[in-house]
Structure 1
Amino acid sequence: MKEKNNGQISFEYKISPNYSNYTIAGAHGGLQPGGLITANIFSERTAIPKRITHRLTEEGGLGEIIEEDKKDAIIRDVLFSLSMTPNTAKSLGKWLIEKAEEYERHFVKVAAKEESDG
C-alpha cells in the first residue's frame, strides 16, 4: 500500500503463487454463527465415466461404445469457499451487477447491430 500526500491511496496488486482462474456456475452457502456470509463456489459438469467399453474394429481400432459406467447426474465441483462480512458481500454484489450491466451495454448492442446488418 502506497500513500500519497493529496488524500489518496494506491493499492498494488500482486499475483499469488496459488492463483487460479475458475469458470463458475453458482454458489451455495449462507450465514455463519459469527456473522460472516459464506459462499461455496462451484462449477458444473457432466459426470466423467468410471469405465467405458468399446467394440474393436476388424483393424483393431476403437468401435462403438457398448458399455459405459457413468453417473446420470450433473456434478457440482465445489472449488473454494468465500467468507465475508455483510458489507463486503454488498460491495461484491454491487460490483458484479455493475460488470453484468457493462457486459449487456457492450455486447447486447454489438449482437443487435450484427443481427440488423445480417
Structure 2
Amino acid sequence: MPDDAQDEITFVYEDADTVPTITATGAHGGPSPDGASVVANLYVERSSIPHHVSHQIDETGQVDLSEHSEQVTRGELTREVQASLVMTPEHAMQLGRWLQRNARQAMEQREQTFS
C-alpha cells in the first residue's frame, strides 16, 4: 500500500427530513424478471375493512346506522405495503446477513430483559 493511501474511512449518517419509521410484519417479492435486482415489498398485516357499506335512509331523510343493507368485503386480511426495497442480489445477501445478526442480538437482549 502506498504511504499516502488511507487505511480507514469514516461514514457519517444523516437522516433526511422525510425519513419515516415504518412497521413491517412481512415482505412479498422476489427477483426481478431479468435477475438484476431483488424486490422486497414490506407490508404490515391487519384485518380488512369493508370496501363499502350501504345504509338505509328513512322517510325523514335520516340515515339508519344501526344496520347496513349491504357490505362488500375485500377479504379477511389486508397486507398494506409500507415500502418497497429494490437492491442488487449482492446487497440483498448483505442485508439478509445483517438482519439475521441483529435479530439474534435482539432476541438475546429480550431474553435477558424478560427472564
Q: TM-score, normalised by structure 2?
A: 0.70
Aligned equivalent of 1:43: 44
Please state whether the residue corresponding to 1:7 is helix, strand or coil.
coil
Structure 2 distance, partners of 1:87, 1:51, is 47
Larger proportion of helix: 1
Counterpart of 1:20 in structure 2: which amino acid?
P
Shift of residue 110, structure 1, vs aligned partner: 2.4
The aligned counterpart of 2:62 is none
5+ residue gaps, structure 1, are: 54-63, 113-118
Name the Cα RMSD after superposition: 2.5
Show the counterpart of 1:23: 23
Report the secondary structure of 1:11's partner residue: coil
Percent identity reads 31
Instruction: Give, in angstroms, the shift of residue 34 of structure 1.
Output: 4.5
Q: TM-score, normalised by structure 1?
A: 0.68
Q: Is the 8 A contact 1:43 1:77 kept in 2?
A: yes
Report which structure shows greater RCO (CA 8 Å, sep ≥6). 2
Using the TM superposition, give the Cα deviation of residue 80 of structure 1 relative to its aligned residue in structure 2, in angstroms.
2.0
- Number of the residue aligned with 1:102: 105
Name stretches of at least 5 consecutive residues in structure 2 with no aligned partner: 56-64
Q: Please list the CA deviations of residues 55-76 of structure 1 after superposition, one character each: whole Å capped at 9, or x if unmatched.
A: xxxxxxxxx9544846351111
* Alignment match, 1:86: 89
Whichever structure has more strand as a proportion of its residues is 1
* Contact preservation (8 Å) 2:28, 2:42: yes
1:48·1:70 contact (CA, 8 Å) conserved in 2? Answer: no
